[in-house]
Amino acid sequence: MKGRGIVGGRAAGPALVSAEPISFLGDLDIRTGEIVGALPSVRGRKVGGTVLLFPASMGSAGAWRFLYQLYVHGTHPLALVTAELPDPSVVQGAMLAGIPVVAEVPLDELLAVANGAWLEVDGDAGAALVSANAPG
């Protein structure tokens, strides 16, 4: 998947695909990384250690703190891949936490990724690749 690199860096991990936009301010429990918001496609799942794919972020000026706190608690996603440009506050939190972000990936491609598929994300190149190189 080709998009636009927003926050540089590389990460790899299993995909967690949300069909709904995500608010880091209210949809996630920062201590556990569990999705607690009304997001039917991913409610009850944990973002920690995943490459989180979602259509868009719904944010507020304080979203950066929640994304950064996920990092502090070790419950953060390894990378973010979005169809739309994320809110500036989400970008700020990702920068502070060292979480690569790739945006402007076509929504149909993003939603076609299976949960658990191994993804390699390159925030510098603006790319996310479904890979067969999963550890194990």
**Mind listing the pLDDT tens digit for each residue in 101-132?**
999 999 999 999 999 999 999 999 999 999 87
133 CB-contact burial (10 Å; exposed 0-12 / middle 13-18 / buried 19+): exposed
The answer to whether 110 and 1 have CB atoms below 8 angstroms apart is yes
Domains of the chain: 4-130 (3.50.30.10)
pLDDT in tens, 40-88: 999 999 999 999 999 999 877 788 889 999 999 999 999 999 999 999 9
60 is catalytic: yes
Which of 41, 57, 60, 89 is catalytic? The answer is 60
